[in-house]
């Protein structure tokens, strides 16, 4: 039986492209969550005034890949120590966050976040928000499968390609 995870780690084009390459991931949907505005548009979220973050909703088979393994990839492939920024993308819509679906996910992400902090892997403290998922809104169609359809786009080559290369190097045992 499938489970669902919802992560915000900067641009959803990046996070979608990374998580689609993991064994056991059945689907990844870019969208918006964490704010109060119902059914937001990309332009509204980009304003930084909706409270929503660009996020991905991941449907996965826990018999193939665990929620904790997804978190390991999440914490490695973006900078969880920068508040409201990933690279050149700045604003609350690019914050680092895990939106948990149940108490088990909440406990796991709290434990993993504390372990990442204690590991010394990052020089600065992890600022990833941990919050319950309230509502997830799928992004517009042109954001879905963006990397797969636009691999020659400069942003994809400069920002996403290095993340995918790091994924294969760091997590070869769980990549498809």
How far apart CA 58 and CA 39 sit, in angstroms, is 19
- Residue range 31-44: average pLDDT? 96
Q: Report the pLDDT value the prediction gives residue 87, as an integer from 0 to 100.
A: 84
| Active-site residue identified among 11, 14, 46, 156 | 11
CB neighbours (10 Å) of residue 132?
A: 11
Please count the helices (runs of H) and the strands (runs of E) in the chain. Answer: 7, 8
**Residue-range domains of the chain with CATH:** 3-174 (3.30.1060.10)
How far apart CA 125 and CA 13 sit, in angstroms, is 25
Q: What is the mean pLDDT of the chain?
A: 96
72, 167 contact by CB (below 8 A): no
pLDDT tens for 136-168 read 999 999 999 999 999 999 999 999 999 999 999
- Residue range 24-40: average pLDDT? 97
The yes-or-no answer on residue 11 being catalytic is yes
Q: Where are the alpha helices (DSSP H) in the chain?
A: 12-19, 42-46, 67-76, 103-119, 146-149, 154-155, 161-170
Predicted confidence band at 88 (pLDDT cuts at 50, 70, 90)? Answer: confident
How far apart CA 2 and CA 172 sit, in angstroms, is 22
Predicted confidence band at 50 (pLDDT cuts at 50, 70, 90)? Answer: very high
Kind of pairing between the strands at 89-90 and 85-86: antiparallel
**Residue found by looking up tokens 């992560």 in the block:** 7
């Amino acid at each position: 039986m499938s489970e669902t995870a919802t992560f915000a780690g900067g641009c959803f084009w990046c996070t979608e492209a990374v998580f689609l390459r993991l064994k056991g991931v059945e689907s990844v949907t870019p969208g918006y969550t964490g704010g109060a505005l119902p059914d937001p548009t990309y332009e509204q979220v980009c304003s930084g005034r909706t409270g929503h973050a660009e996020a991905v909703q991941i449907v996965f088979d826990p018999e193939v890949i665990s929620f904790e393994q997804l978190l390991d990839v999440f914490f490695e492939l973006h900078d969880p120590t920068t508040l409201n920024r990933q690279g050149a993308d700045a604003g609350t819509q690019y914050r680092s966050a895990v939106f948990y679906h149940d108490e088990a996910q909440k406990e796991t992400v709290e434990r993993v976040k504390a372990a990442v902090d204690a590991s010394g892997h990052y020089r600065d403290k992890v600022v990833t928000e941990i919050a319950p998922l309230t509502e997830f809104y799928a992004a517009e169609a042109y954001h879905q499968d963006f990397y797969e359809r636009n691999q020659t786009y400069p942003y994809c080559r400069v920002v996403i390609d290095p993340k995918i290369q790091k994924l294969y190097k760091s997590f070869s045992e769980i990549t498809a």
